[in-house]
Structure 1
Amino acid sequence: MLRRLRSILMTCCVLAAPLGAGAARAEDVEELAPFKMIRSLQYVQDSVVLGDHSAIEMQRFMLGAIDKRLRSADASVFRDPRNVDAALVYAMSGGNPETLKYLSDHDVAGNFDSRITEALRQYLNGKGGLIVENLSDAAPEYRNARIGPYLYLILGNAMSQQDPVAAMKYYDWARLTAPGTIIEEAALRRSVFLAVQANDPDKGFHYALTYARRYLTSPYASQFADVFVELAVAHFDGAAQERISEILGFMDAPRQREVYLRVARRAAIAGKQPLAKLASQRAEALGADGAAQPKVLAGFYAGLAAVPSNDVFAATASITAIPDTELSVRDRALRDAAKAVADAVVRPPDGESLTQAFASKSDRPVETDASAEETETGSGMSPFGSAQTPVAAAASVAEADTGAASDPEHDGFVAKGRSKLEEIDALLKGGQ
């Protein structure tokens, strides 16, 4: 694969090469049409989401080469609509937004559609909500054009917060007109997220199954796993179990195990004890490769879920016995919260606690359910490819290792535990 991509760079992206027999001349480099370079970029980007992560660095190089070519191109180059489309695709593929601004500002011949360029400039500057009306009017004219799938993907992104259902329709068109590409991968992944937001599990599982069949080797598959866990936890019932098992069937054992661990963690935090125990058991059953840490985490999440149950003593002993080195910073915070809740639940009532039953509601602090703020899922040992660059990944790890005391998951678990104490107070009041 690397040899083939290197060949593409030599012929289409035009790496500077020494002059000689069959070597590309400098003037050939300067005259290469932008649309030919964009074809190579699209090939590389599609290769990345299909599993060739070694092409990520090549993608960055090609974006830089195309940027240089577009800025140095004579205005006459853009008389060819293919080169205009190339400039727009470049901007929508992670290119420099200032290059699109430069080209549109110098377009005296009217080769660029000002509606499209203005919408893209606003979108790339973080003002996506402002482009919905104008772009939704202009995009249908380009539905069958080369830039059509890109425009519909961006329109779906801009619409997603205002109207998730309408955004999914834009994503559907984008992916159906660009199968097997980075556009389809992004549209499917984001559609799963929107289906969760729209509380439409049928569509969510359909999108998730399609994604699992095609793009589990994408570097963005970890983001898909996060959203799929949300979907599974929110809609894990008898009918959904079969669909979830079908989707996980496309994954190898380590990936299935990681998903079940994530589900167990989220379910334990959300107070869904049966689901947390079931997911923990399935994760532990997938530990046939001898890996110790997944089994430890499965037992930990099962114990975490059992804290508010009749098995609180055994659950507390189980999670307390796990060494700190076996848990991430966030999981250690959850364990400490669970221990605090368990201690409060089993502590014998004293005189002060009995008087709480007669306190007015206005004297009691109002607790909020912080579990909705919980955003990070997983155990920190995901086998899924990460879309982060090494620098960004290191930064995220450093961030996860600091500020554990203010972890929203910790606060959410404590809040749920306090609600259990209020229930006990209510029982004491009823017994007076």
Structure 2
Amino acid sequence: MGFLRRLLLTGTLIGAALAVAVCARAESLDDLAPYKMIRSLQFVQDTVVLGDHSAMEMQRFLLTTIDERLRTAEPAIFDDPRNVDAALVYAMSGGNPDTLELLIRKDIAGHFDSRLTDALRSYLGGRGSQSVKSLAEIFPEYKRSRVGPYLALVSANSVIRKDPKLALSYFDWARLVAPGTIVEEAALRRSIYLAGEAGWVDKSMTYANRYARRFLRSPYASQFADLFVKLAVDHFDALKEEDILEVLSFMDVPRQREVYLRMARLAAISGKNKLASLAAERAQILSGDGESVPKVLADLYSGLASVPSSDVASAMEAIAAIPDDQLSAKDRALKAAARAVAEEVLRTPKAARVPDAVAEEPVPQAAEDASYDGLNEAESAERTMDPQAADGGQTPVAAAPQKETEEQQDKAGIDPAFDSFVSSGRSKLDEIDALLKGEGS
């Protein structure tokens, strides 16, 4: 069935390409109506998100051709409202925003609604927050028009931070009026992110389920996988395992394994050790006999999750056995960090003891000079840099010699080896924190 579907899509795409070429020959490029070209672009874009990635080259060709056609069109061509809508759809479909600016400057007859074009210009120019009010006022008027689905996406993106609930309503409308299209694909993908960030876990899972049913062959499906992994890790405690399995059930085995590996990695980094172990185990089960890399990665992430457990020694042995040449640079860094943590956990400090000299003789009282006896290197350096401690005992810090002597006696009872172990451990953890800082999925 998959082969037949791809064959039909490819055949239909070739037919669309030939139709564009025939139209272009029958009518010169100067005579071809922009709305006809936009229809071909929409068909090709929808074909791409349904799985025919070979159509992406045709999409680029059509965007370039439409851009040229709009720039050279006579103003009278926009007497037809369909061509006005075509220009607006082109601008909201990844077209050149400068072309819309050119058309607006040439629009002496007032074919373009200035309220709408001003809002779009602000949005396309990166000033989406300035267009929020205008789009909110305009959208009800245009929601059932040819530009309605695209305008819904733009409106949602403009309010996505300020009003997530309103943004979701825009995305829902876009999906409702343009099912099976690139508009629905984009709306679903962004809805997953938006609902997840807002804490609406059930809604986000519903959107993820719909996306998995309809658009797993989209070139943007990798973004969906990242969003789904983040959703599962961030809200694992609120999710049911069967809900996660249901979404993954629409994927083939390699895709499922990839998602589980991403999930195990992010969960291990985030400290969600139970999820990391479960996801790594699933990835191992789904790895074939001849596929060594997925198993290696699953072992690494499982080992990361096991470091904080009581069986840290076994986890360290498993991590050390993982070959570096099968890991990416980031995963080699994770392996090094995990080994460093495990080594610090397993290292046994020497037992603290009181030196004989301290037991036999009392520590002398500090006089004019604040004695450095019994202080470790860090404290000595700190005392040296403190102007109050270095002025010959004339400051309030040196006014209580008895208390200072007691503190020195306490310090003198610490084995330098133990103190070195603590300092080294802190240094290692600081290095690991720096290493993992900024790590993503």
Q: For this structure pair, what is the TM-score category when the shorter chain's length is used for normalisation? A: 0.7 to 0.9
Superposed counterparts of 1:227-376, under 5 Å: 227-237=227-237, 239-288=239-288, 290-349=290-349, 351=415
Structure 1 position 187, deviation (Å): 0.4
Provide the secondary structure at the position in 1 that maps to 2:144.
coil
Structure 1 position 336, deviation (Å): 0.7
Q: Partner residue of 2:166? A: 166
Kindly provide the CA deviation profile for residues 261-285 of structure 1, in whole angstroms up to 9, marking residues without a partner as x: 1111111111111111111111111
Superposed counterparts of 1:74-85, under 5 Å: 74-85=74-85
Structure 1 position 101, deviation (Å): 0.3
Q: Distance in 1 between matches of 2:130 and 2:342?
A: 50
Is the Cα–Cα contact under 8 Å of residues 165 and 194 in structure 1 kept in the other structure? no
Taking only the aligned residue pairs, the percentage that are identical comes to 57
Q: Could you tell which deviates more after superposition, 205-214 or 136-145? A: 136-145
Which of the two has higher C-alpha Rg?
2
Aligned residues: 365
Provide the secondary structure at the position in 2 that maps to 1:131.
helix
Kindly provide the CA deviation profile for residues 55-93 of structure 1, in whole angstroms up to 9, marking residues without a partner as x: 001000000110111111111111111100000000111
Is the Cα–Cα contact under 8 Å of residues 12 and 40 in structure 1 kept in the other structure? yes
Q: Distance in 1 between matches of 2:417 and 2:232?
A: 39
Q: Partner residue of 1:408? A: 437
Give RMSD over aligned pairs. Answer: 2.6
Provide the secondary structure at the position in 2 that maps to 1:29.
coil
Q: Partner residue of 1:55? A: 55
Structure 1 position 352, deviation (Å): 5.6
Q: Distance in 2 between matches of 1:134 and 1:353?
A: 69
Superposed counterparts of 1:75-114, under 5 Å: 75-114=75-114
Q: Distance in 1 between matches of 2:344 and 2:272?
A: 20
Q: Distance in 2 between matches of 1:235 and 1:241?
A: 11
Q: Partner residue of 2:17? A: 9
Q: Distance in 2 between matches of 1:289 and 1:42?
A: 43
The gaps in structure 1 that reach 5 residues or longer are 17-23, 372-404, 413-432
Letter in 2 for 1:73: A
Q: Distance in 1 between matches of 2:435 and 2:83?
A: 51
Is the Cα–Cα contact under 8 Å of residues 23 and 32 in structure 2 kept in the other structure? no
Structure 1 position 354, deviation (Å): 6.1
Q: Partner residue of 1:400? A: none
Letter in 2 for 1:5: L
Q: Distance in 2 between matches of 1:357 and 1:43?
A: 66
The one of the two structures with greater contact order (alpha-carbon pairs below 8 A, sep at least 6) is 1
Letter in 1 for 2:107: D
Q: Distance in 1 between matches of 2:84 and 2:417?
A: 74
The gaps in structure 2 that reach 5 residues or longer are 1-8, 351-414
Change (3 A) 1:89 1:207: same
Structure 1 position 357, deviation (Å): 13
Q: Distance in 2 between matches of 1:349 and 1:175?
A: 62
Change (3 A) 1:407 1:118: farther
Q: Partner residue of 1:425? A: none
Q: Partner residue of 2:137? A: 137
Q: Distance in 2 between matches of 1:275 and 1:353?
A: 38
Q: Partner residue of 1:70? A: 70
Q: Distance in 1 between matches of 2:274 and 2:228?
A: 19
Q: Distance in 2 between matches of 1:108 and 1:248?
A: 54
Is the Cα–Cα contact under 8 Å of residues 330 and 407 in structure 1 kept in the other structure? no
TM-score, with normalisation over the residues of structure 2?
A: 0.78
Structure 1 position 13, deviation (Å): 5.5
Structure 1 position 237, deviation (Å): 4.0
TM-score, with normalisation over the residues of structure 1?
A: 0.79
Is the Cα–Cα contact under 8 Å of residues 13 and 47 in structure 2 kept in the other structure? no
Q: Distance in 2 between matches of 1:128 and 1:279?
A: 39
Change (3 A) 1:352 1:152: farther
Q: Does 1:157 align with 2:157?
A: yes
Structure 1 position 3, deviation (Å): 4.7
Letter in 1 for 2:175: R
Kindly provide the CA deviation profile for residues 316-348 of structure 1, in whole angstroms up to 9, marking residues without a partner as x: 111111111111111111111111111222222
Change (3 A) 1:216 1:47: same
Q: Distance in 1 between matches of 2:19 and 2:74?
A: 22
